[in-house]
Chain A
């Protein structure tokens, strides 16, 4: 992998330091006393490492509309490891054009942590579809009603990480290239609020969509 890598969580510059922190985190429950009932619950953050270069986007986000014959193939949002954010709003979107802004390392780390918390990095489409089918069946059983959505929009999110571990107990994934593709994601999140998986994924997608309209974006010449 070209360039340096760093963890989003602790800004670790080397694998050695990361391993140290990881061991320390794993040892915490053994070495620290359990917190009392009044204390805040400490949730361990996911372990994330990614390339800090601008060679390849760490995050890509785009929308593909069934209705449109000529969807613009350029991703709506690209976030590079050096914090550069490139937004391409196609001609059929308001305020069309190419825009750019810069995230600080801490902001990018925070964004990746949020996406991880949204379940984007370990989104399992097969499981989600199975859950959705069950919810559809439940809704039909309770309402006696069929339901269709006419023209879908596919949400596509790609996250490229050097290493990722969702929890200390989870296996470390190297060279993670997570691709989330879901049609009518925000509508499904509204239809199936019981699906934590879909609701979180829609939250993550909305987070990226909001970034495409960030006030700090500057139009490229």
Chain B
């Protein structure tokens, strides 16, 4: 017989057995570590999510919010967060956030935490602890309810003794003939850990598989956790919620329970009947929903009503699941998403000339590792965005003649998380018209006009330096132009840092060009070139001739009758030759006298 036929036969027999047994049941069936496990249906029952038939593969469970619910919109983010948490199937510690460590207003009940618990039921999990179904109000106590899930055994009485540590639900509990329902890790019976492989080789329900010295299966109650050194941690499936408490991530025990079921009907991992679960957000909808959440007029606080059908011996599949939350209660709907938004790296305005090309690299990151998708809006016809599918994109800009102008655009990126979250940036593509440079000094006429220089003169202040940078204006274009570096081009004001609108930037009566030509600092009045040509007169505006007038000025300076300025020192400081001493005195007069006498 093929395995599929065999499974169907077993399932048929199992359903028949369930039906026959149901008629005999004197008491309600209470859930175990897996919902439907217990005395009535079998203590070894493992319950699977909807759509699992015994064949391996991925199971998609669609989770919806009832459109009739007035809280539907507020429920969306919490429900999506829950879906993310179950899909990640990540065991966590420290998942209890009380009071100031959460974002819940005082007195409120966290919808997301309670919904995470109820969805767990809807996937087949039961309470890890004995809970109120074993110790109902008004007489049941929290101490009793925190013992590990079990049946009351043949004597029909729960035998509860917390053992030497006095902690209910720990590994030294003494439970008489109570039959354990909690699947525990064989190696350590520690529900705050998880095995690499979760199946019947590593987990058991039968107490015979407990580690030495342990007397009962421990459950992931917060007090047990603290006793084991794991603080503020509890299984989500532990019944018992506090006001102003957030418990929004799964514990190791929750993950282990789901993974155990996912090992399939053979309860062996990595075999053909294994499955994975994907919760899919069905939105605010009634279409094809497997689990529906709704706030109703029920006087109850919150519950999941689950139906199940047998699929194989000791295996049940959830067939229906509806979660209701009472509308009389002070629910807090978490507005913060588990999914983190992608971050787009800054782009900024982009400038390009007509006829030129520009490729702008764009990138984004996502803390969740989600896939990213880029898009752009407002793109002109000459720009194209290419998404490389790896978190990067390129914006190719190729304007042609006539495209000059400013184009406001937006580039955005979205992740594939739940909910889908975006990031974007608005910026401008600036296309410049071809620039006119009438004087050929490398500065466009527009820019020259804006700067105040003469667009028709390469040397607006006539100091021998070109208005812009050196290396642009050939010496031939500016007679008298300075070419200190000898490259055949006029040196530029922008290289020297001088003012193209002021021939003497430092005000020392020596033009910037002259200072550059003699390697003096044109921006410092205390620096002058060593021209040493004796041309001192007329005072303040040498005439290019060296004669008695120059000598007279030099005599006046040497006698202290005239204080020399940098201009006079530059021309009249002749001694020592080649390394003038910044004074004009008798030595300079003698040299000047010789120059005058030797002059043609």
A interface vs B, CB < 8 Å?
Answer: 63-71, 91-94, 96, 133, 136-137, 140-141, 143-156, 181, 183-187, 205-206, 209, 213
Q: List 29 A-B contacts (CB under 8 A).
A: A65-B300, A67-B114, A68-B109, A91-B107, A91-B330, A92-B109, A133-B28, A144-B15, A144-B309, A145-B320, A146-B18, A146-B29, A146-B41, A147-B308, A149-B303, A149-B304, A150-B35, A150-B121, A150-B127, A151-B239, A151-B300, A151-B301, A152-B303, A153-B300, A153-B301, A154-B136, A186-B298, A186-B300, A209-B299
Given contacts A92-B109, A150-B121, contact A140 B18 (CB under 8 A): yes
Give the CA-CA distance A93 to B302 in the complex, in Å: 13
Q: Is A156 in contact with B239, judged by CB distance below 8 angstroms?
A: no
Q: Is A147 in contact with B299, judged by CB distance below 8 angstroms?
A: no
The verdict on B243 contacting chain A, using a C-beta distance below 8 Å, is yes
Residues of A within 8 A of B107 (CB): 91-92, 96
Q: Is B138 in contact with A140, judged by CB distance below 8 angstroms?
A: no
The verdict on B478 contacting chain A, using a C-beta distance below 8 Å, is no
Q: Is A64 in contact with B118, judged by CB distance below 8 angstroms?
A: no
Within the complex, the shortest CB–CB distance from B50 to chain A, in Å, comes to: 13
The verdict on B133 contacting chain A, using a C-beta distance below 8 Å, is yes
Residues of A within 8 A of B25 (CB): 133, 136-137
Q: Is B22 in contact with A141, judged by CB distance below 8 angstroms?
A: yes
Knowing that A66-B137, A137-B25, A153-B326 are A-B contacts, what are 8 other residue pairs whose CB atoms are under 8 Å apart, sorted by A's residue number? A92-B108, A92-B243, A93-B329, A93-B330, A144-B19, A152-B136, A184-B300, A187-B305
Interface size class of B (residues with CB under 8 A): 35 or more
Residues of A within 8 A of B142 (CB): 69
Option from B19, B26, B241 in Cβ contact (under 8 Å) with A141: B19
Which residues of chain B in 14-32 are interfacial with respect to chain A, using CB atoms and an 8 Å cutoff?
15, 18-19, 22-23, 25-29, 31
Within the complex, the shortest CB–CB distance from A90 to chain B, in Å, comes to: 9
Residues of A within 8 A of B136 (CB): 66, 152, 154, 183
Residues of A within 8 A of B41 (CB): 146
The verdict on B240 contacting chain A, using a C-beta distance below 8 Å, is yes
Residues of A within 8 A of B31 (CB): 148, 150
Task: Count chain B CB atoms within 10 A of each CB in A91, A145, A186 and give the residue with the most.
Answer: A145
Q: Is B302 in contact with A96, judged by CB distance below 8 angstroms?
A: no
Given contacts A94-B328, A209-B299, contact A145 B309 (CB under 8 A): yes
Q: Is A63 in contact with B303, judged by CB distance below 8 angstroms?
A: no
Within the complex, the shortest CB–CB distance from B178 to chain A, in Å, comes to: 20
Q: Is A148 in contact with B308, judged by CB distance below 8 angstroms?
A: yes
Option from A94, A136, A148, A205 in Cβ contact (under 8 Å) with B330: A94
Chain A: CB-nearest residue to B108? A92
The verdict on B488 contacting chain A, using a C-beta distance below 8 Å, is no
Within the complex, the shortest CB–CB distance from B449 to chain A, in Å, comes to: 71
Residues of B within 8 A of A70 (CB): 242-243
Q: Is B138 in contact with A155, judged by CB distance below 8 angstroms?
A: no
Give the CA-CA distance A209 to B117 in the complex, in Å: 26
Q: Is B109 in contact with A137, judged by CB distance below 8 angstroms?
A: no
Q: Is B328 in contact with A187, judged by CB distance below 8 angstroms?
A: no
Given contacts A146-B316, A150-B303, contact A66 B118 (CB under 8 A): no
Q: Is B243 in contact with A153, judged by CB distance below 8 angstroms?
A: no
Q: Is B329 in contact with A94, judged by CB distance below 8 angstroms?
A: yes
Q: Is A152 in contact with B309, judged by CB distance below 8 angstroms?
A: no
Residues of B within 8 A of A206 (CB): 299
Residues of B within 8 A of A156 (CB): 138
Q: Is B109 in contact with A145, judged by CB distance below 8 angstroms?
A: no
Option from B26, B133, B304 in Cβ contact (under 8 Å) with A133: B26
Q: Is A92 in contact with B329, judged by CB distance below 8 angstroms?
A: yes
Give the CA-CA distance A63 to B308 in the complex, in Å: 28
The verdict on B200 contacting chain A, using a C-beta distance below 8 Å, is no
Q: Is A96 in contact with B132, judged by CB distance below 8 angstroms?
A: no
Give the CA-CA distance A150 to B328 in the complex, in Å: 19
6 closest cross-chain pairs (CB), A and B:
A153-B300, A66-B132, A91-B107, A150-B121, A65-B301, A140-B22
Give the CA-CA distance A93 to B308 in the complex, in Å: 32
Give the CA-CA distance A137 to B29 in the complex, in Å: 11
Within the complex, the shortest CB–CB distance from A173 to chain B, in Å, comes to: 23
Q: Is B328 in contact with A93, judged by CB distance below 8 angstroms?
A: yes
Within the complex, the shortest CB–CB distance from B517 to chain A, in Å, comes to: 89
Residues of B within 8 A of A93 (CB): 328-330
Q: Is B239 in contact with A67, judged by CB distance below 8 angstroms?
A: yes
Task: Count chain B CB atoms within 10 A of each CB in A96, A149, A184, A186 and give the residue with the most.
Answer: A149
The verdict on B91 contacting chain A, using a C-beta distance below 8 Å, is no
Within the complex, the shortest CB–CB distance from B89 to chain A, in Å, comes to: 21
Which residues of chain B in 556-583 are interfacial with respect to chain A, using CB atoms and an 8 Å cutoff?
none
Give the CA-CA distance A82 to B126 in the complex, in Å: 46
Give the CA-CA distance A155 to B31 in the complex, in Å: 21
Instruction: Give a binary string over B116-130; 1 marks a CB under 8 Å from any A CB, 0 the rest.
Output: 011001000011000
The verdict on B36 contacting chain A, using a C-beta distance below 8 Å, is yes
Q: Is A152 in contact with B22, judged by CB distance below 8 angstroms?
A: no
Give the CA-CA distance A183 to B413 in the complex, in Å: 51
Give the CA-CA distance A153 to B136 in the complex, in Å: 10
Residues of A within 8 A of B298 (CB): 153, 186-187
The verdict on B440 contacting chain A, using a C-beta distance below 8 Å, is no
Give the CA-CA distance A88 to B132 in the complex, in Å: 24
Give the CA-CA distance A186 to B242 in the complex, in Å: 24
